[in-house]
Structure 1
Amino acid sequence: MTRRSFAVLGAGALLAALAVPADAQIGGLGRAAGRLAGRANLDAVLRGDAPITTSLPDARWAVDSLDNFTPRESKRSLMQLQRTPNGGFVLQPGYYEFHDQSYCLHAGTHGPGGGDGYLYAPPKGPAEDAVMTIVRNSVNRPNIPQHDVQVLLWAIIARSKFEDLDTNLKQTASQLLTPRQLAALNRTALDLVPGPALDAATNRMPPLLRQVFQAEAQLRQLVTQPGTSYQQLERVAVLAGMAPMGEGSRAVPSGRWSLHPDGYYIRYLPYSYTNTLVQIWVPQGSPAVGKEYDPATHIAVPGNTARQRLIQSGRPYQDH
């Protein structure tokens, strides 16, 4: 879906939500004030950019001609290469593999599966700096569980108020983000939107877009409630069952290579949203030699838009 069509849908949905009958306005100033806040909130949701806007049209580096290609070089672990302060790797000629911790950046969609392929795209959107900082800083803080990093990322894409987060999540945020970044995220956060108002505002949206908005609204509520389990959040953010083919999808076979602008080839083979097998090929004489592979700048974008975008990290997956 294009940004223009999204804005048109959003404006139409917003007008529908605000066209309430006169008798529904009875209830006093408190209720009226609540409606005004809800309207402003819905306007911000429907008209503004999502915190991360990276989508399939941003994945412009696919190399269709290399489908079914495997480099001749013996495969080596990416962990053999020199690390960078960002948690990245200094590239050298060869064929490398790294099983990393990956993170969902598209709540209300399905996880990997069904043979769908993933392509390289960079992080884009108002929260790109905060998201990349979290992923980079997590490499040097292995004591922070992967689940805590994921919940913090879900809180950001749901535009949660950081001052309302539970104590554990606040502590995670303070370790991975700067005070300036925390303040900026809090300024762009949203209040909770009542369920009926959100339903009215999104009832004309395509099913996938409606699912995303509703999932983000549920996450905003859950991350502020003490005692919410990771499993509760996961059930909202990661849809179960067969994934439909989302609007604007294109056929991308599993294992398709992308040519990074720095000159190396990369492909993503997700096992689930939590972990991805990344393979990198740096040909002899490539301009990529000596450059950094920074996983936090890589979002694996699925060909099926009903599946999740997965940001990569420099943290090895726990079982590998």
Structure 2
Amino acid sequence: MNLRSFGILSAFALLASATAVDSLDAQIGGRLRGAVGRVTGGRLSVDQLLPGGNHPITTSLEDARWAVDSLDNFTPREAKRSMLELQRTPNGGFVLQPGYWEMHTQSYCLKAGTHGPGGGDGYLYAPTRGPAEDAVMTILRNSVNHPEIAQHDIQTLLWAIIARAKFEDLSTQHKAIASRLLTPQQLAQLNRSALDLIPGDEMGALMNRVPGPVRAIVQAEADLRRMLADPTASFADMERVAVLTGAVGMGPGSREVPSGRWSLHPDGYYVRYLPQGYSYTVTQIWVPQGSPAVGKEYDPATHIATPGNTSRQRLVQSGRARQAN
């Protein structure tokens, strides 16, 4: 058999295989899964696009289990001091001492296609969780030792992770930044778990099947994957897609959480978040005298400020101080 004949037979075999897959998917109401599977070589299902257990970062309001309602409107009696006075750790964290501490931090959006902070909605502590938690925390920890890397470049890498973009398709600049903040093994893992771009017609069909409450998130992540592979797309373009503005109602599964509610961290200290925008959070920590938290590390990379209103963004914290404009 010559090479041309082999190629023709292979094409027919692939077509037959795709038809068989479509037939099977149709039987379970999954025609869309078949369409997307053909685009991505069978590696992708509709469920993989939806927020849930396979998402790179899974932290949700259900993980925010340490709220202290009884301390609403409470302010510690100790004089407030800058967290930057505390001893730093190799992770870019802080060795806690008794007192009332505050830091104006660089924070980052970890839920594209949702609204930024506002409207008096409060935020609670939840741990950084999900298949990509190690990569996200590594970026944040290493960024403390690389003040020359701009905050928006770090945000771009984090959007690439949550959108499951291919790191090999990023700009030369962002690949260079990623290589300074992540290990080769982490980069390889992120690239393996990335999603291929879905053509517009297939994406349109997909969006018709995505539940309304999460449609904006799925669409924003798809748009970010496309923009991250486009060298002409600017950070402002990506920000408009990822960070929604304007009024927003309470999302599904929301809880009434007032601004400034404290959470009691498992290590024994109290923490609260006062976002001034998605990229800037005032973080306050109270360590009472005799607390078991004395001498322990506050590692911002392990903290996601999680909104009571699920229509708003999760904000992962940073050990980098906000730079005044």
1:38 deviates by 6.5
2:112–2:159 contact (8 Å) kept in structure 1: yes
Distance 1:299 1:287, change over 3 A: same
Q: Distance in 2 between matches of 1:90 and 1:14?
A: 54
Give the AA of the match of 1:272. G
Give the AA of the match of 1:15. G
Q: Distance in 2 between matches of 1:197 and 1:12?
A: 20
Match of 2:281 in 1: 276
1:19 deviates by 7.6
Distance 1:124 1:13, change over 3 A: farther
1:38–1:193 contact (8 Å) kept in structure 2: no
Q: Distance in 2 between matches of 1:39 and 1:202?
A: 19
- State the SS of the aligned residue for 1:52: coil
Distance 1:124 1:34, change over 3 A: closer
Q: Distance in 2 between matches of 1:62 and 1:145?
A: 33
Please list the CA deviations of residues 35-83 of structure 1 after superposition, one character each: whole Å capped at 9, or x if unmatched. 3537643444348611000000000000000000000000000001100
- State the SS of the aligned residue for 1:253: coil
Match of 1:145 in 2: 150
Distance 1:181 1:259, change over 3 A: same
Is 1:196 the counterpart of 2:196 in the alignment? no
Query: Structure 2 regions of 5+ residues with no counterpart?
Result: 1-25
Distance 1:13 1:250, change over 3 A: farther
1:264–1:283 contact (8 Å) kept in structure 2: yes
Identity %: 68
Match of 1:41 in 2: 44
2:122–2:261 contact (8 Å) kept in structure 1: yes
Q: Distance in 2 between matches of 1:15 and 1:115?
A: 41
Which of residues 242, 255, 261 in structure 2 aligns to 1:256?
261
1:203 deviates by 2.1
- State the SS of the aligned residue for 1:97: strand
Is 1:98 the counterpart of 2:103 in the alignment? yes
- State the SS of the aligned residue for 2:59: coil
| TM-score normalised according to structure 2 size | 0.87
Distance 1:83 1:241, change over 3 A: same
2:37–2:44 contact (8 Å) kept in structure 1: no
Give the AA of the match of 1:45. L
2:37–2:43 contact (8 Å) kept in structure 1: no
Alignment of 1:23-38 (within 5 A): 35-37=38-40
| TM-score normalised according to structure 1 size | 0.89
Match of 1:288 in 2: 293
Match of 1:213 in 2: 218
Distance 1:257 1:199, change over 3 A: same
Q: Distance in 2 between matches of 1:34 and 1:268?
A: 41
Q: Distance in 2 between matches of 1:198 and 1:13?
A: 20
1:86–1:294 contact (8 Å) kept in structure 2: yes
Is 1:304 the counterpart of 2:309 in the alignment? yes
Query: Structure 1 regions of 5+ residues with no counterpart?
Result: 1-10, 21-32
1:255–1:269 contact (8 Å) kept in structure 2: yes
Give the AA of the match of 2:324. D
Aligned residue pairs, count: 298
1:18 deviates by 4.8
Give the AA of the match of 1:60. R
Please list the CA deviations of residues 84-135 of structure 1 after superposition, one character each: whole Å capped at 9, or x if unmatched. 1110000000001000000000000000000000000001100000000000
